[in-house]
Amino acid sequence: MSELATLQINGTVARLTLNRPEQRNALSPDLLAALHSQIDLLRQKAVASEINVCVLTGAGRSFCAGMDLKAVLGNDALVEELLLSLAMFTHKLRTLPCITLAVANGAAIGGGCGLLTVCDMSITHADSKMGFPEVDLGVCPAVVAPWLVKKIGAGAARNMLLSGGLMSGHEAHARGIVCDVAPTLEEMHTQVNAMVERLAGASPAALKATKGLLNELDDSINEAVLRKAAALSAAVINSPATQGMLRKKMGM
């Protein structure tokens, strides 16, 4: 079996790819573990000023379909572990001392849309689908909520998380979830190449000073908030009502 998360490095640009295309890159415990080990490696290189830009994307047609609860549902401790793993990965992603660019090649749903929200910049194309349908499933999008509030503001985040559902790439752009939207997938890749080339030349020292300051002022360094959020999200998933609903949805 191929690696669930791959890391390619080309000059000062790293490319971290969710590589579980047959499951639409859904975040299973194994995929998250793979992402953790790759981002730990990436962090060392970025600290050493070897990496300026990290592109986060998905293999296949989806960016990330969200949490994969199949393997853990029914085991409270494993659910808690999975949510904490997601929360700590978002924290590592945010505090990477390089620019993070999410390239949403396709659907970015729930926790997947959350990963995109954590990145410094993001791009998608008009035909992609994204959003936070957690409330539709009886789940609480607690881990992504702090990141979404920082990204689009508390008022807009409240409306989005409580409305559920999905939106097009265009609407995601209009509502500030993604920074840029290209008309087609092909055009998106052209724009990504130009953007990466532009960002790759940043001064590592100036970049670290800027990103460190942003993370400090917008409270991105606050790990305690994320631990609490992960526990809350897990508690809701572990409640009997939500479990029943999720089992039905997943045909379990």
In sequence order, which residues have a C-beta less than 8 Å from that of residue 21 and are 6 or more positions away? 58, 59, 60, 61, 62
Half-sphere CA count of 215, side-chain side, radius 13 A: 24
List residues bridging with 55 in a β-sheet: 15, 101
Instruction: Decide if 102 contacts 169 (C-beta within 8 A).
Output: no
* Cβ proximity of 164 and 136 under 8 Å: yes
Contact positions with another protein (CB under 8 A) in 178-237: 179, 195, 198-199, 201-203, 205-207, 209-214, 216-219, 221-222, 224
Active site residue: 3, 134, 186, 216, which one? 134
> Scanning residues 77 to 106, which ones bind another protein (CB under 8 A)?
99
CB of 163 vs another protein, minimal distance in Å: 19
Contacts of 206 (CB under 8 A, 6+ apart): none
Least separation, in Å, of the C-beta of 17 and another protein? 22
150 scored as a contact of another protein (CB under 8 A): yes
| Catalytic status, residue 134 | yes
* Minimum CB distance to another protein, residue 34 (Å): 27
Task: Choose which of 126, 137, 152, 231 interacts with another protein (CB under 8 A).
Answer: 152
Q: How far is the CB of 194 from another protein (least distance, A)?
A: 9
* CB of 172 closer than 8 Å to CB of 131: yes
Helix, strand, coil share (%) of the chain residues, nearest 5: 55, 15, 30
Mask 120-149, x = binds another protein (CB under 8 A)? xx----------------------------
Residue 121: strand pairing partners? 101
Using CB under 8 A, which of the segments 20-28, 55-63, 151-159, 228-236 binds another protein? Answer: 151-159
Q: Could you tell me the smallest distance in angstroms from the CB atom of residue 89 to another protein?
A: 19
Region of 172 please: left (phi>0), alpha (psi -120 to 50) or beta.
alpha
Q: Which residues carry out catalysis?
A: 134
Residues that bind another protein (CB under 8 A): 99, 120-121, 150-154, 176, 179, 195, 198-199, 201-203, 205-207, 209-214, 216-219, 221-222, 224
